[in-house]
Amino acid sequence: MSKPRIILLPGDRNGIGPEILGKLLADPACHQWADIEVMADPGVLAAGGVPAAATAGYRLLPFSPEAEAPIEPGQATAAAGRECLAALSRAAQRLRDGEADGLVFAPLNKQALHLGGLAQADEMRFLAHELGHDGACGELNVLAELWTTRVTSHIPLADVAGRITPGSVGQTIRFAHDSLVAAGRPAPRIAVAALNPHAGDGGNFGREEIEVIEPAVRRAVDDGIAAEGPFPSDTVFVRARDGAFDCVVTMFHDQGQIAMKLLGFGQGVTVLGGLPLPITTCGHGTAYDIVGTGQATDGALRNALRICAAMAGNNQNGSAR
């Protein structure tokens, strides 16, 4: 079986993306997982210390939609945002055309993306549009063997409770199950977090657990999914960390993100699940405050490449190329 073909993008030119991409590509080990194509402005790569393709074993696809724009370390700029959107669009086209099996991108900055013209809520919705995908999709965060996803994501906290419905919880449990199966976990164990303190304390602190979440978990179990809960969110990650579960479904963004970043900030991966082909990125951001200081590490980008390559390999095993 040939290695999957993975596109790598350096992310925001003003962040740490080019630096950590350079560190990753300089390590021969990463090339054992995939045939890597780097699509980027050569000037951005050079500024980030990315080794030349001739010596580092990757294919370079020069792509310079903002070649005249300056590199402004630590700044969110419209030019950087436009460049990122153009690169994501071009990469999506290559995926659609069968020229690549997966995509990994270094950190983007949402402020820069919106300055650059992003019309969707985030890069995942943008990529779904570019791929012509109108089905369910969502972010999953991965740290070592533990995955997590959420029922609601980039919305105000005041709106969360109204979005917690039997349908949304059930759909997210199914989404988590199917995503882990696609990543090679045939029978993932899924914990579902509560919304309210102490899982509602029998209804004293809210009734969402009784009326919404628990019925959704029961239906998932009836459908053959190994789901349990709802569990108090302040303890479920302790059990998951200790190996009781493969994935935690949370109710809102920070409920899972805080736990995962405390468990391993700088190593986590975001998987854009539900899209037609595997797409992953770092769990951390552009780290504008440390650009050029040498502090940035490539651990999360390395993990993103490894996971994307594994998912693309599973796709190859499941269907002929």
Give the amino acid at 140.
Answer: L
Structure-token match 């796709």, residue found: 315
Question: Which part of the chain has CATH 3.40.718.10?
Answer: 1-137+268-321, 145-266
Angle, to 10 degrees, between the axis of helix 214-222 and the axis of helix 166-182?
Answer: 40
For the chain, the average pLDDT equals 94
The token pair that represents 244 in the structure block: 């009781």
Range in 66-75, 118-127, 223-232, 310-319 the model is least confident about: 310-319
Cβ pair 244, 277 in contact under 8 A? no
CA distance 75 to 148: 31
Domain 145-266 has CATH 3.40.718.10: yes
> Residue range 138-160: average pLDDT?
93
Q: pLDDT confidence of 1, banded at 50, 70, 90? A: low
pLDDT of residue 265: 73
pLDDT over threshold 90, residue 320: no
pLDDT of residue 184: 85
Angle, to 10 degrees, between the axis of helix 17-25 and the axis of helix 299-318?
Answer: 60
Q: What is the pTM of this model?
A: 0.89
Angle, to 10 degrees, between the axis of helix 78-96 and the axis of helix 123-130?
Answer: 40
Q: Strand locations in the chain, DSSP E?
A: 5-9, 35-40, 59-62, 102-105, 138-143, 146-150, 189-193, 226-231, 247-250, 269-273, 279-282
pLDDT of residue 317: 66
Cβ count near 142 (within 10 Å): 25
CA distance 183 to 170: 20
CA distance 108 to 286: 6
Beta bridge partners of 193: 231
Cβ pair 233, 250 in contact under 8 A? yes
pLDDT over threshold 60, residue 92: yes
Give the amino acid at 58.
Answer: Y
CA distance 132 to 176: 22
pLDDT over threshold 70, residue 321: no
Domain 1-137+268-321 has CATH 3.40.718.10: yes
pLDDT over threshold 50, residue 50: yes
pLDDT of residue 319: 47
Angle, to 10 degrees, between the axis of helix 299-318 and the axis of helix 166-182?
Answer: 80
Question: Phi and psi (nearest 5°) for 38?
Answer: -100, 120
The token pair that represents 7 in the structure block: 């596109």
